[in-house]
């Protein structure tokens, strides 16, 4: 496995294309499933195996709060050891100047509707998706990605990236396959997240209500009642509810009869010690619940 930081090294490593796993580091079992999917996708390429590239870059332009950026966990050595064990070919760990060279304009471009309209992450994290689109376009260009893996855990982000890549492709941009990865959960149901490291014991216990709320909503057939159920469970656990909604799974607009739906939640968990004292967590599941859960429980 190689760890590269410069543009030239990355261009050489990805000259025949690659399968990219974009991350902000502090890797956990959720990232591991993305890497495993990337390896499977890389091995299935016509004409030979592509390298798997994991990018580790805490992207300042997608943080709408400086304190959140400051306290975001970072541990490059542990991340590289984790990647080596998982059979990653290249870790791309660029500095800010490599991703956003001071002498080069990196335009955001037009944001897709799903990044602006739903009133979810787009409203609670103003500027977040502009930062996501900017960095994803940039990482695709720097790595020469033929495919990129994104987690369903960040459901709105997945829809935004899909829509952005498709719009770019129609305008003559690269044809990048977006591969979705199911959410990996802890034994109690809490979706794995780098931010879980910022929870204290009490916060972690309260955060268990997030997956309970969404699972419970899956058994309720009315979207409005499902939303009330989620809000009730989250508030009873002492969580600050930003949204707890049932939406169309693709547009994240209002539910359309006959189209897949998703229950989505964002909460703040008050803890002692994290920057600002609140850890923001998000989660989602298909709604209504169908068959056995698709998510993996990390062993």
The residues annotated with a catalytic role in the active site are 31
- Nearest CA to 239 among 275, 269, 203, 211? 269
The verdict on 184 binding ligand AMP (CB under 6 A) reads yes
DSSP 8-state secondary structure symbol assigned to residue 29: H
Give the binding-site size for ligand AMP (rule: CB under 6 A). Answer: 17
Span from 94-102, 184-192, 253-261, 272-280 in contact with ligand AMP (CB under 6 A) = 184-192
**Gap between the Cα atoms of 100 and 98, Å rounded:** 6
Decide if residue 194 touches ligand AMP (CB under 6 A).
Answer: yes
d(CA 144, CA 274): 37
Paired with 286 in beta bridges are: 262
Residue 285 interacts with ligand AMP (CB under 6 A): yes or no: no
Number of Cβ atoms within 10 Å of the Cβ of 250: 15
**Beta carbon nearer to ligand AMP, 156 or 227:** 156
- In the complex, the smallest distance separating the C-beta of residue 225 from ligand AMP, rounded to whole angstroms, is 27
Each residue 20-49 as x (binds ligand AMP by CB under 6 A) or -, in order, gives ---xx-----xx-xx---------------
Any contact of residue 4 with ligand AMP (CB under 6 A)? no
- Tell me the two tokens of residue 162: 């899909």
Rounded to a whole number of angstroms, the minimum distance from the CB of residue 29 to ligand AMP is 7
Q: Is the peptide bond before 83 cis (omega within 30 degrees of 0)?
A: no
Tell me the β-bridge partners of 103.
none
Regarding 189 and contact with ligand AMP (CB under 6 A), the answer is no
Helix (H, G, I), strand (E, B) or coil at 62: helix
What is the DSSP secondary-structure string of 201-221? HHHHHHHHHHHHHHHHHTT-S
Indicate whether 262 belongs to the interface with ligand AMP (CB under 6 A).
Answer: no
Determine the interface stretch with ligand AMP among 36-44, 66-74, 128-136, 151-159 (rule: CB under 6 A).
151-159
Q: Is 62 in the site for ligand AMP (CB under 6 A)?
A: no
By CB under 6 A, residue 153 contacts ligand AMP? yes
Residues in the chain: 299
In the complex, the residues that contact ligand AMP under the rule CB under 6 A are 23-24, 30-31, 33-34, 150-151, 153-154, 181, 183-184, 191-194
């Amino acid at each position: 496995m190689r760890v590269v930081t410069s543009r030239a090294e990355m261009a050489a490593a990805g000259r025949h294309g690659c399968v990219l796993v974009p991350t902000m580091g502090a890797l956990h079992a959720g990232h591991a499933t993305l890497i495993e999917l990337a390896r499977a996708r890389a091995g299935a390429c016509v004409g030979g195996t592509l390298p798997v590239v994991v990018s580790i870059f805490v992207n300042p332009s997608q943080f709408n709060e400086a304190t959140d950026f400051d306290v975001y966990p970072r541990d490059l050595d542990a991340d590289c050891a984790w990647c080596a064990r998982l059979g990653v070919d290249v870790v791309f760990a660029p500095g800010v100047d490599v991703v956003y060279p001071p002498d080069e304009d990196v335009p955001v471009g037009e944001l897709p509707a799903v990044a602006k309209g739903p009133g979810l992450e787009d409203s609670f994290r103003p500027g977040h998706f502009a930062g996501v689109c900017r960095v994803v376009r940039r990482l695709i260009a720097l790595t020469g990605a033929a495919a990129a893996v994104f987690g369903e855990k960040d459901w709105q982000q997945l829809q935004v990236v899909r829509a952005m890549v498709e719009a770019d492709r129609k305008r003559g941009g690269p044809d990048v396959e977006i591969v979705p990865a199911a959410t990996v959960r802890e034994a109690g149901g809490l979706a794995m997240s780098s931010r879980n490291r910022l929870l204290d014991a009490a916060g972690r216990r309260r955060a268990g209500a997030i997956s309970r709320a969404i699972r419970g909503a899956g058994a309720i057939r009315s979207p409005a009642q499902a939303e009330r159920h989620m809000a009730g469970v989250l508030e009873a656990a002492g969580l600050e509810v930003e949204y707890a909604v049932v939406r169309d799974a693709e547009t994240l607009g209002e539910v359309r009869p006959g189209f897949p739906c998703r229950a989505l939640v964002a909460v703040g968990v008050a803890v002692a010690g994290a920057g600002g004292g609140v850890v923001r967590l998000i989660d989602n599941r298909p709604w209504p619940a169908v068959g056995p859960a698709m998510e993996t429980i990390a062993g």
